[in-house]
Structure 1
């Protein structure tokens, strides 16, 4: 009963508390070159009727004109295609605000608010970029540069960074966001010494008994005690979030979910949202929040579940609506080779000889999740490596014995063996896949993983065939929040080197469109409100120059986005015509 009550309250909040409906209930009919409803592979329409921010009817132009003779006829999209509003179900607001505001040296071309920035695909190019940024920065101040990747740029330690400068704290931020590399001045500045090796797994020591300069995973919060004030400068954060919001609008995104609410501290995150996001009307996209288990456990202890349910119902105020879901972590990061993999572990790279890290021990997962599930809260669980997938799906099997209806979404899902795919189908998992693993690291990971595990990266076609709803997310800022680009990668399975990874795992065009619309809505638990064009749903649309179902997958990123409609209100891009 409690699950039903929470669900009813969430619907009421969505419908009443967080709607941005036009003041007028004017009925408007929008003819289009085509309306892609995503309600069936052969379901197309010619027009849609909107009233009060909701979809009233969908069908042929003439039939709708006959049925609604008093409707206002709006020809704005007569030469465009209307599709359901794109959804990115897993982003990070504060992290995006930070990373889009710091200088970058990425290993591959990176989409930014200012356009595509060049990648630095060799060690020499990377260090040339680091020296360039360091020379231009104000003397003596701590400097953070984002984008290093060891599988592209090679190993990195404090000696390499001391060769760049010893006159300032220099911190290089790994592309994964989970690892930092510090020069000697930065180690001293952040008070990181050999004594911390016993306290944290994430402070490795070199042969000289001193920190190598790498700080990762469990040691990052200690680093942020010093570094946080630099990264979270309010002026830089505002600039970064403005840029992030611009990218979302360029990509035709109407809805996002921040997976990790509380991880940077509720006070900072709430202030960031209140000042910079403010509202869908102001920002042009809808934002939902998903609390992170560890952050809420640390802050609220035994009151953590009650606190989250109070946020969901509105009894405790939040700057954006909180979904009845909680974020968990089974293992660590795909990008930095700290995800938990099976024996013999990593065969190359910075984690060679190890199996990666657990965040929640396998035997504890079900017990940690159960109190939240009992309160009617769904699961969004970060689970990347194949050994992590075993633990995650074992926990799901155990949880299914107490709750058949628990919404359980595996986040990222870096590696799935055929056995994992079958088990995900049997136990009704959902997979919200990282959009970018195949393209960025599909080839680079073959040596570290070996030939068998290397074929298990994001097998979305197999998961879909097993009956698993599959969606795509950017995990922004780790990849650009551009759904057409994300979908394109999984229709082509293209890699950045020009190859194709496991072509048998290509999604069909319709599956790819579902992955950024209705299946994304399903991952959020909002499939009754968003994700397809059907009567009663929100009038959230993305307006495109072409029908994506008639365009080759490789060309999806070239489809022009006019803008969006949000609750029936037109929001064109700055360069689009009203």
Structure 2
């Protein structure tokens, strides 16, 4: 038997569907949209309960965070936030940023003084020297001021760099490790700065194993969803590093997300990050097909090509990094990609490729071209994550191959000034995250926070795409700004399309899931600079109301 009908009223409903662009009421039954229009339209379906809680609010399709990491939820549960960006924790408490090394060392000393087990590692996260004043590296010399005996591991905001103290270097035997990302001083000793996966994973396994999928703590799933839901997200992507192929981890994920009070949907990419080879990637991905539930789905497989631009590990085409002309590091080398990408493509998987800089994007495009030439596939929806230095020539090649993108629009706000002064120079910084050009050429484009890299906040991400303003107020590349409507579409329908979920979510249309974000003001009517300040009144997921905060 069909369940009861609830009709939600609103000051305005923005549907993001061209058939009926605006409404005042939406009828919901069994978690599905039954009707969209006015009260009489909705009443035609029979008896209903009218919910007027949001009669003075704006309803929009549920906002979608198209690239993030469950690691964010785990870090809130298991580690200490010590980064420079102000962030709200899962309880809604503002954690103020630490913007220099002296403040960082003091905070770590406070944390260390409260630890009773002298052998337990101190794990922190969110640090980023590029956002500090003054800009200075975080090395073993700074961390040894906290402790020379307790292992310390600090994950940078980018998640592509870590800083460790001497105790961690000793425990993990870094004196014998020759990976290129292990930075060394003039004497040849490790500095404590570890760049990229090959350099970092030894320390992670030695002192912070939870961060590579070892934890089944339910708090990580709730934290991940709560922080996103508080800022209006109804769906959030777990971008590929989690170990759902492990039965215990999968069981924990299914149990958490099946709870009625779980506040958001998770779409998880299969793990092509810590899983080393194509055969295992394909086997694990195939094994997870159909294993989700109403709030957990598996889609695509995530691979990482290069690193972090602000960490100087993104792979650039000439002229390289500003001043030095140096280049970054490959996480998957070109020769490997030429076989890995076709193998995943031939297996029928959607490939989600981390390409921060332009050489990495170019390499992925070439690998997809090889795959398509050998075995053409329609509607594969492979997409690039970040794509910060995509240009028109790369975007046109993407269109021809059916490749799309989710751009890291937040980067211009948080790191735009650093990129201009230290990483790329003026021109390339102005050209970052070219959403307007991509949309004009026909690329389906979304945008994201990449949390824990930057805080998950879909309205801020939307604002960044529409305004392209740095934290100091400088506008970068004004012709690459998009309209508020296009920015909202990037965070709703376009994101759903990338995730093969546009038939279920992304717009308010009869037959889709009843996922809505409830706002205090109309993001299409306010000045674009005011969008990020619009209060979130709550969300509705599958017809269930979740309060804000």
Q: TM-score, normalised by structure 1?
A: 0.85
Partner residue of 1:387? 359
5+ residue gaps in structure 1?
Answer: 1-22
SS in structure 2 at match of 1:223: helix
1:270·1:319 contact (CA, 8 Å) conserved in 2?
Answer: no
How far is the alpha carbon of 1:136 from its aligned partner? 4.4
How far is the alpha carbon of 1:303 from its aligned partner? 5.3
Q: Can you list the C-alpha shifts for 1:501-524, whole angstroms capped at 9, x where unaligned? A: 222221211011111111110111
Say if 2:411 is the partner of 1:433.
no
1:443·1:495 contact (CA, 8 Å) conserved in 2?
Answer: yes
Count of paired positions: 540
SS in structure 2 at match of 1:35: strand
How far is the alpha carbon of 1:330 from its aligned partner? 1.8
CA distance in 1, matches of 2:454, 2:217: 18
CA distance in 2, matches of 1:328, 1:236: 23
SS in structure 2 at match of 1:313: coil
Say if 2:164 is the partner of 1:182.
yes
CA distance in 2, matches of 1:177, 1:357: 14
Partner residue of 1:472? 447
Partner residue of 2:186? 207
1:24·1:52 contact (CA, 8 Å) conserved in 2?
Answer: yes
CA distance in 2, matches of 1:265, 1:310: 8
How far is the alpha carbon of 1:533 from its aligned partner? 0.5
Partner residue of 1:504? 479
Partner residue of 1:557? 532
Say if 2:206 is the partner of 1:226.
yes
Q: Which runs of 4+ in 1 moved over 6 A?
A: 232-236, 317-320
SS in structure 2 at match of 1:407: coil
Say if 2:504 is the partner of 1:524.
no
CA distance in 1, matches of 2:212, 2:281: 26
Partner residue of 2:253? 273
Equivalent positions of 1:41-56 (< 5 A) are 43-56=21-34
How far is the alpha carbon of 1:166 from its aligned partner? 2.2
1:484–1:62 distance in 2 versus 1, CA, 3 Å: same
CA distance in 2, matches of 1:573, 1:482: 13
1:319–1:369 distance in 2 versus 1, CA, 3 Å: farther
1:354–1:175 distance in 2 versus 1, CA, 3 Å: same
Partner residue of 2:143? 161
Say if 2:177 is the partner of 1:196.
yes
1:169–1:215 distance in 2 versus 1, CA, 3 Å: same
Q: Can you list the C-alpha shifts for 1:547-567, whole angstroms capped at 9, x where unaligned? A: 211122222233222222222
Say if 2:228 is the partner of 1:253.
no
How far is the alpha carbon of 1:205 from its aligned partner? 2.5
How far is the alpha carbon of 1:568 from its aligned partner? 1.9
Q: Can you list the C-alpha shifts for 1:411-431, whole angstroms capped at 9, x where unaligned? A: 111211232233333333211
SS in structure 1 at match of 2:237: strand
CA distance in 1, matches of 2:127, 2:509: 45
Partner residue of 1:442? 416
**Structure 1, 437-446 or 456-465: larger mean CA deviation:** 456-465
2:352·2:382 contact (CA, 8 Å) conserved in 1?
Answer: yes
2:212·2:241 contact (CA, 8 Å) conserved in 1?
Answer: no
2:268·2:296 contact (CA, 8 Å) conserved in 1?
Answer: yes
SS in structure 2 at match of 1:507: coil
1:190–1:541 distance in 2 versus 1, CA, 3 Å: same
1:41·1:510 contact (CA, 8 Å) conserved in 2?
Answer: no
Q: Which of 330, 340, 343 pairs up with 1:358?
A: 330
CA distance in 1, matches of 2:379, 2:245: 31
SS in structure 2 at match of 1:57: strand
Partner residue of 1:311? 288
How far is the alpha carbon of 1:407 from its aligned partner? 1.0
Q: Alignment RMSD, CA only?
A: 2.9
**Structure 1, 460-469 or 67-76: larger mean CA deviation:** 67-76
CA distance in 1, matches of 2:338, 2:469: 36
CA distance in 2, matches of 1:178, 1:461: 28
SS in structure 2 at match of 1:410: strand
Q: Which of 300, 304, 308 pairs up with 1:333?
A: 308
CA distance in 1, matches of 2:217, 2:388: 30
Partner residue of 1:423? 397
SS in structure 2 at match of 1:341: coil
CA distance in 2, matches of 1:471, 1:87: 9
CA distance in 1, matches of 2:72, 2:491: 22
CA distance in 2, matches of 1:99, 1:76: 32
SS in structure 2 at match of 1:442: helix
CA distance in 1, matches of 2:254, 2:448: 24
SS in structure 2 at match of 1:28: strand
Say if 2:126 is the partner of 1:147.
yes
1:569–1:171 distance in 2 versus 1, CA, 3 Å: closer
Q: Can you list the C-alpha shifts for 1:82-109, whole angstroms capped at 9, x where unaligned? A: 1111111222213431256422332232
How far is the alpha carbon of 1:74 from its aligned partner? 3.1
1:31–1:244 distance in 2 versus 1, CA, 3 Å: same
2:70·2:242 contact (CA, 8 Å) conserved in 1?
Answer: no
2:234·2:517 contact (CA, 8 Å) conserved in 1?
Answer: yes
1:212–1:397 distance in 2 versus 1, CA, 3 Å: same
Q: Can you list the C-alpha shifts for 1:230-267, whole angstroms capped at 9, x where unaligned? A: 76899995555543332122112211221215459735
Partner residue of 1:290? 269
CA distance in 2, matches of 1:162, 1:566: 47
1:442–1:333 distance in 2 versus 1, CA, 3 Å: same
How far is the alpha carbon of 1:222 from its aligned partner? 1.5
Q: TM-score, normalised by structure 2?
A: 0.90
